[in-house]
Structure 1
Amino acid sequence: MNKIKPHLALLACNCIWAMDFPFYNLLLSHYIRPLALAEASLIATALISLVPLLWERAERIDRADIRKFLGAAMLMGVLRKVFLMYGLSETSPIDGSIIDTIVPILVLLLSVLLGLDRFTKLKVAGLLLGTGGAVAVVATGHASAHYHAQLWGNVLIFLCACVSSVYMVCFKKLVGKYRVTTVMRWLYCLAAIMLLPFSVGQLVHTDFGAMLRHALMPTLCVFLLQTYLPNILFNYSLRFVSSTVSSIYTYLQPVVAIAASVALRLDKLHFDTVVFALLIFLGVGMVLRSYAKQPSRPEEPAVKLH
C-alpha cells in the first residue's frame, strides 16, 4: 500500500490540476485580471499552509536552504502562476491543457542535460514526436477554428510547462529533505510576498463579491482547493517516485480538462487538436517503453543549486 500511495496522490493532484484550465478561464473571462487572480490564490494558499502549525511544531530550515526556497517560490509560486493566468486569459482551456502535457518530455530533456538520465533511440523518437505535437498545438492557436485561442497565450502555457519541469528536476532533493507541510508553507508564503508589489493594483480593483455571487463554485475551488491540495499531494509523491514518473501523470489532465470545458461550454473540441494530442501521447508512450526496456536503477539526486 505504501508503494501505491504516491501514485494515488499523483492521480488525484493531476485530476484537480486539470480543473485549473476551465475554472481559471471562466473567472479570467468575466471577473478578475490575471495578476490579481494569481496573487489571490497565492495568498489563500499561504494562509491555508499556516493551518498545520496548530498541531505541529515549525520545522527548522537550514540557512543554506533559504536561498533554494526562494528559487522554488519564484519558479513554482510566482512564474508558474503568472504564466498560467496570462496564458489562460488568451487561450482556450483545451489547447492549454494539451500544451501542458509536454512536461514529461521537458523533464526527460532537462534530466539528460544535467546528467541525471541518458538518451536512447526510443527516447529521442518519443521526444521529437511529443515536442512536435506540442509545437503544433501552440502554432495553431491563431487559426480561425480556435477562436478562443491566441498564439501568445499558447506560448505562455508552454513557458508554464517549462517552469514546472525545472522545479520537478532541480528541487526534488529539497522537497525530500523537509516535511511536505514545511515545503508548502515556505514556498507559498514567499511567493505571495514576492508577487504582491506587482499585483496589488489589480487586486484592489477586483469585485470579489461579484465572483462569489455569480461564480461561487469556481471561485471557492480556485482559492481553497486548486493550489494547496494538489501541490501538497504532488510534493508528497515527489519524495518517493522519480521526476520522470511524476511528470507522466500530466497526461491525465487533458482528458479531465476537455470533459470539463466541453461540459461547461467554455470550449469546443477540434479535430486537429485531437490529432496533435495523439502525437504527444504516442511520444510519451515511446519514452515510457524505453524505460521498460532498460534495467532499473535508483534515481540520482537532483542537481544541487548554488
Structure 2
Amino acid sequence: MSKRNVALFGATLVSIIYGLTFTIAKDVMPKHIDAYGFILLRVSGAMLLFWFCGLFVSKEKIALNDFPRIIVAAFFGVAFNMLTFFKGLSLTSPISASVIMVTTPMIVLVLSAIIMKERMRKRMVIGILLGLIGTAFLILYGKSIGSGSNTTLGNFLVLVNAISYGFYLIIVKKLMEKYNAFTFVKWIYLFGFLMVLPFGWSQFEVVNWAIVPITIYWKIGFVVVISTFVTYLLNLLTMKELKPTTVAVFIYLQPLFATIFAIGLGKDDLSLVKIISAILIFVGVYMVTQKPSKERYKP
C-alpha cells in the first residue's frame, strides 16, 4: 500500500473517530461527570501521553520569544476550544454539534482574510452568508431527542469552539513550520492543562468514581487516548502526505459518521431543520474553500 493510500485511510479513520466521539462523549456527560471535569481528564491524559512520547523524539529547544505564541495557541486550541465544545455538546445533540463543526474551514479563511487583510471575493462572501444562515437556523431551531431548554446555548457554544479552533490553526501555523510537532504540542497541552485546571477541578473532585460504570471508564479512555492522542498522530501523517485541500474534504465525513452512530444508537434524530441547515453550511463552506477556476487550472 502506498504512503498516499495509508494517509487517505488515516484521514478516513480520523473522521470515523471524531464521528464516534460526539456520541461517546455525550454518554459520559453530564450524567457521570460535568463537561469541565471531563475536559480536565482529557487534557491531563493527553498531556502526559505527549510528554511521554516526547522523550523518544529528537530534542529541540523552543526559542523564548515563541512561548507567548504557544501560550495563545494553548488558550485557543486546548483550553477555550475544548471547554466551549464539551459544554456545548453536553447541552445539544451529536448531529447538531458535528454539523456546526463543518464551518471550521470557512471560519479559518474568514479569520485569515481579516487578520492578513486578504481580499474577499464575491463568491466567498455569498458562501459565508449561506453558512451563517445555516448555522443560525440550526442554533435557533435544531431541537433533538432529549433536548432541553439549553439546546440553543449548546449549539452556540459549539460554534464558539469552531471559531476558537480557527484562531488556533492560524496561530500554530508558524510553529509547525519551525519545529517538530511533538516539540511544541507537549507545551501547548501543558499550558492548556494549567488553564483548564481551575475550571475542571471542582467538577472532577465531586465525581464518585466507585459508582461510575466500567463502560463509562472505557468511553473516557476512548476520548483521552483515541479521540485526542491517536487522532493527532494520524493528522500528522495525513498532513505530511496529502494536500491541505484534500485533508479539509475529510471534515465533511464527520457529520455523516456522527449521524450514523447517533441515530444507530438511538441518541439523536435527523430532523428537517438539521438537513436544511447542513445543506446551507456545506454549500457555504464549498463556495468559500474552492479556488477560482483560473487558479485551479493554472499550469
TM-score under structure 2 normalisation? 0.88
2:43 counterpart of 1:42: yes
1:215–1:199 distance in 2 versus 1, CA, 3 Å = closer
Cα distance in 1, alignment partners of residues 68 and 242 from structure 2: 25
- Verify the 8 A CA contact 1:80 1:164 in the aligned structure 2: yes
Equivalent runs, 1:279-298 vs 2, <5 Å: 279-289=280-290, 291-295=291-295
Kindly provide the amino acid, as one letter, of the partner of residue 281 in structure 2. Answer: I
- Verify the 8 A CA contact 1:129 1:283 in the aligned structure 2: yes
1:110–1:16 distance in 2 versus 1, CA, 3 Å = same
CA deviation after TM superposition for structure 1 residue 229, in Å: 1.8
Greater shift, 236-245 or 260-269, is seen at 236-245
1:8–1:65 distance in 2 versus 1, CA, 3 Å = farther
Number of matched pairs: 294
CA deviation after TM superposition for structure 1 residue 7, in Å: 5.6
- Verify the 8 A CA contact 1:97 1:253 in the aligned structure 2: yes
The 3-state SS of whatever aligns with 1:215 is helix
Cα distance in 2, alignment partners of residues 208 and 76 from structure 1: 29
Greater shift, 29-38 or 210-219, is seen at 210-219
CA deviation after TM superposition for structure 1 residue 208, in Å: 3.5
Greater shift, 13-22 or 45-54, is seen at 13-22
The 3-state SS of whatever aligns with 2:61 is coil
2:20 counterpart of 1:19: yes
Q: 1:154 aligns to what?
A: 155
1:182–1:277 distance in 2 versus 1, CA, 3 Å = same
Cα distance in 2, alignment partners of residues 237 and 7 from structure 1: 7
Equivalent runs, 1:96-245 vs 2, <5 Å: 96-115=97-116, 117-141=118-142, 143=143, 147-148=146-147, 150-234=151-235
CA deviation after TM superposition for structure 1 residue 91, in Å: 0.6
Unmatched segments (≥5 aa) in structure 2: none
CA RMSD of aligned residues (A): 2.6
Cα distance in 1, alignment partners of residues 231 and 107 from structure 2: 21
TM-score under structure 1 normalisation? 0.86
Could you list the per-position Cα deviations for residues 145-184 of structure 1 after superposition, in whole angstroms to 9, with x for gaps in the alignment? Answer: 6642611111100100001111112321112221122222
Kindly provide the amino acid, as one letter, of the partner of residue 58 in structure 1. Answer: K
The 3-state SS of whatever aligns with 1:50 is helix
CA deviation after TM superposition for structure 1 residue 26, in Å: 0.7
Q: 1:71 aligns to what?
A: 72
Greater shift, 62-71 or 201-210, is seen at 201-210
Kindly provide the amino acid, as one letter, of the partner of residue 148 in structure 1. Answer: S
Could you list the per-position Cα deviations for residues 112-144 of structure 1 after superposition, in whole angstroms to 9, with x for gaps in the alignment? Answer: 112364322222222211221111111114x5x
- Verify the 8 A CA contact 1:181 1:232 in the aligned structure 2: no
2:84 counterpart of 1:83: yes
CA deviation after TM superposition for structure 1 residue 245, in Å: 6.0
- Verify the 8 A CA contact 1:15 1:256 in the aligned structure 2: yes
Q: 1:304 aligns to what?
A: none
Could you list the per-position Cα deviations for residues 182-202 of structure 1 after superposition, in whole angstroms to 9, with x for gaps in the alignment? Answer: 222111122112221332111
Unmatched segments (≥5 aa) in structure 1: 298-306
The 3-state SS of whatever aligns with 1:265 is coil
